[in-house]
Every structure is written in structure tokens, then in C-alpha cells.
Amino acid sequence: MPDLPILLMIAGGVAALQILLLFWLLRRQNHHRVQAELYHEKLQQALSTQLHHVHVELQHMFQSGQQGIHEKITQGHLSSQQLISETVQRQMSDVREQIGHSFKQHANALTSHLQSLTEEIRTHLQSLTQQVNHRLTEGFEKTSSTFIDVVKRLTIIDEAQKKITELSSHVVSLQDILVDKRARGAFGEVQLAALIANMIPASHYSMQYTLSNKKRADCILFLPEPTGNVVIDAKFPLETYQKLMNTTPSSVERKSLQQQFRQDLQKHIKDIAEKYIIPNETTDGAVMFIPAEAIFAEVHANYPEVIAMSQRLKVWLVSPSTLMAVLTTARAVLKDDATRKQVHIIQKHLHALADDFQRFEKRMDKLTKHMDLAHQDVNEVNTSAKKISQRFQKIESVELENHEVKVELELAEALPMD
């Protein structure tokens, strides 16, 4: 048991050592804690200082970077604007070349179309003018021939009047001329032929014309309907009238001669009515030519019953002067008939001319429509060219505003400074 105190001492020393060691450990741990706190504070201060420096450096770098970005954006804006301007100018020059080429093509096409249309119009107008001139020339030629015919007829009338005047100045006594019946008949026929030849065209009368009843008429006038053919007889009974003129007014045989003359006239009128009035061949009347104005006046003054009979039988008594009036009327009828025929021809040509002018009017309407359409197309092309030119002017004079660059600048300015 002697070792027990030693063991107790050793145990106490170990315990004391343990207590000391624990105290040292606690104290060391406290020291380390304090150092750790100090180090933490120093570290925190160092970190704060470094963070401040980093913040300052970052702020400086941000400002310099923002300035560089602003400079780059400005340079990009200028380069973009220059690039856009060059691109627009190139595109404008290309568009101008294309528009100029298109305008040249359209102008050439329009010019060729207008030239072809002009040639076609000129051709139609020339053909129409030739047709109109031809029709007018034909109408004028026919009208001129008609007027020439009229002038010729008037000349014939003047010559006939001159010949009648000359004939009246050179006429001799009926007693010397009218020796026998043949001479008297020849005198009347010659006088009648001269009058008719000077008044009526040769195609509208015939001397010594044989009718369907085999009777020979001294003269027949071929007049248009409804007048028809008119027979003129020149064989006037002059023997009794010559004897009557050779007697004195108080002579006893004068009454018998007057009665004989009346009977001769009545018989001759009946013969003319029977021989020369033929239905469907001649007109319903005939003409008895009395070759002396004195005999004509004697008959109308002293033989009214003969005049009444001639009117009843439609045998018209005429003297040289009244025959001239009848022939003038017949000539007027022929002239009117010829004029009606010419008027018909003229009306026909005028209708044809009216048709030509209607076709000309239709073609002119079509031409006007084509010209209006061409004019409208030219106006539309001109309007389009003006609009394109205005747009080019606006593009050239406009100040370009780059919306995207403005937005980037606004965003850069809106960034926080810390």
C-alpha cells in the first residue's frame, strides 16, 4: 500500500496538469478567437477598402466604356448614315436608269403606235377624200352638163327668136306664097319645123310621124307622163280665108264665104280629132297650127262656135306666138323631167355621200376615242413621273433619323451610374 500516495500524488499531478492544460487551451482558444476577430475585422476592412477601390475602378471603367460606346455609336451612326446615303444614291441612280429606260421604251412604243395610228388615219382619210372627191366630181360633172344643157337650150331659144324676127322681116304676102295647097302646106310645115327645132330637143319630137292608125302627122311631141305624146297639124285651110279677105265687107258673097270658112274649120278640127287623138298612144288632145296671127285673131274674134267646138273636141288652136308659148311650156316640162332625173341622180349621190360622211364620222369617233385613250395614258404616265420625281426630291432633301441609334443612346443614358 505504500504506492498509494504516490499514485494519489501522480493522479493529483495529472489532474492539475489536465486543469492547467485545459486552462491553457481555453486561454489559447480565447486568444485565437480574439485574433480571429481582429483578423476578421482587418479582413473586413481590407475587403471594404478593396471593394471601394474596385467600385471606383469599375465606375471609372464604366464611364470610360460608356464614353467609348458613345463614340463608337456616334461613329457607327455616321458610318451608317454615310452607308445609307451611298446606298440610297446608288438605288436612286439605278431606279432613275430603270425609269429612264422604261420611259424610253414606253415613249418608243407610244411613238410607234401613234405613227401607225397616224398612218392608218392618213390612209383612211386619203381613201375617203378620194371617194368624196370622186363622188363630188361626178356630181359636179353631171350638174355642169345639166347647166351646159340649159345654157344651150337658152341659146337655141335666142337663136329661134332671132330667126323668127328675121323671118317676120323677110315674110312676103300670103297671096304670093300660098298659090296652091302644096305650097300652103309646105309653108305651114316649114314654119312649124323652124319653131319646134329652135325650141325642142331633137329626141323629143318627130316630123312626118306615122301613127298606129297609118295616119301621118305633121309633127309629134314626145313629152313625159302624164302629158304624153302631142300631135301638131300644120295643114290649115287657107283658100276660103284668102277669098274672104279679097271681098269687101259689104259684099253679098262675104256671108257665104264666112259660112264656108266656118265649115272648113269645123271639118278640119273634126279630122284632127279623129286622126290624131288615139288612146294609149297620144294625149287626149291635139294642136292645130294656124300659120298667121291675123287668121288666128279672125277666128277668135268672129267664130266663137268654132273655138267652142275645138275646146269640146280638145283640139287646141295655136298661132306662131301662142305656139311659142306652148313649146316653151313643153320645154319647161322636159327640163323639169330632166331635172327630176338629175335630182334623183344627185340625191342618190348625196345619199351615198351622206353614208360616206356617216362612216367618216364613226371612224372619227373611233379615232377620237383612241386619241383620248392615248392622251389619258400620256397624262397618267406624266402623273406617275411627277410623283416619282417628287419622291426622289423628298428622298434627296430629307434629314435621315435613325430610330434604332436614338433608342440605343437613350438606353445608354438611362443606365445607372453605380
DSSP string, 121-147: HHHHHHHHHHHHHHHHHHHHHHHHHHH
Q: How far is CA 320 from CA 112, 161, 268, 292, in A?
A: 78, 11, 19, 7
* pLDDT value for 161: 63
Tens of pLDDT, residue by residue, the chain (418 residues)? 556 767 777 877 777 777 887 888 888 778 878 887 887 788 778 878 877 887 888 888 878 777 877 888 888 778 777 887 788 788 777 777 777 777 677 767 777 777 777 777 778 777 777 776 777 677 667 766 775 776 677 677 767 666 666 655 544 444 444 444 454 556 677 888 888 888 888 888 988 888 888 888 889 988 888 888 889 988 877 777 888 888 877 777 888 888 888 888 889 999 998 888 888 888 888 999 888 888 888 888 888 998 999 999 999 999 888 888 888 888 888 888 777 777 667 777 777 777 877 887 788 788 788 778 877 877 887 787 777 777 767 666 654 455 555 545 555 565 555 4
Between CA 177 and CA 191 the distance in angstroms is: 13
pLDDT for 386 equals 77
Please give the Cα distance from 185 to 172 (Å, whole number).
Answer: 16
CB contact at 8 A, 29 and 372: no
Spatial strand order of the sheet with 205-210 comes to 205-210, 216-222, 229-233, 286-289, 315-318
Q: CA 130, CA 120: separation in Å to the nearest integer? A: 15
**Count of CB atoms situated within 10 Å of the CB of 20:** 10
**Ranges assigned E (strand) in 147-215:** 205-210
What is the pTM (predicted TM-score) of this model?
0.42
Cα–Cα distance, 413 to 400 (Å, whole number): 22
Spatial contact of 137 and 329, defined as CB atoms under 8 Å apart: no
- Under a CB-based contact definition with an 8 Å cutoff, are residues 142 and 342 in contact? yes
Residue 228 phi, psi (nearest 5): 85, -170
Widest pairwise Cα distance in the chain: 253
CA distance 105 to 406: 44
Q: Residue 304, preceding bond cis, omega within 30 degrees?
A: no
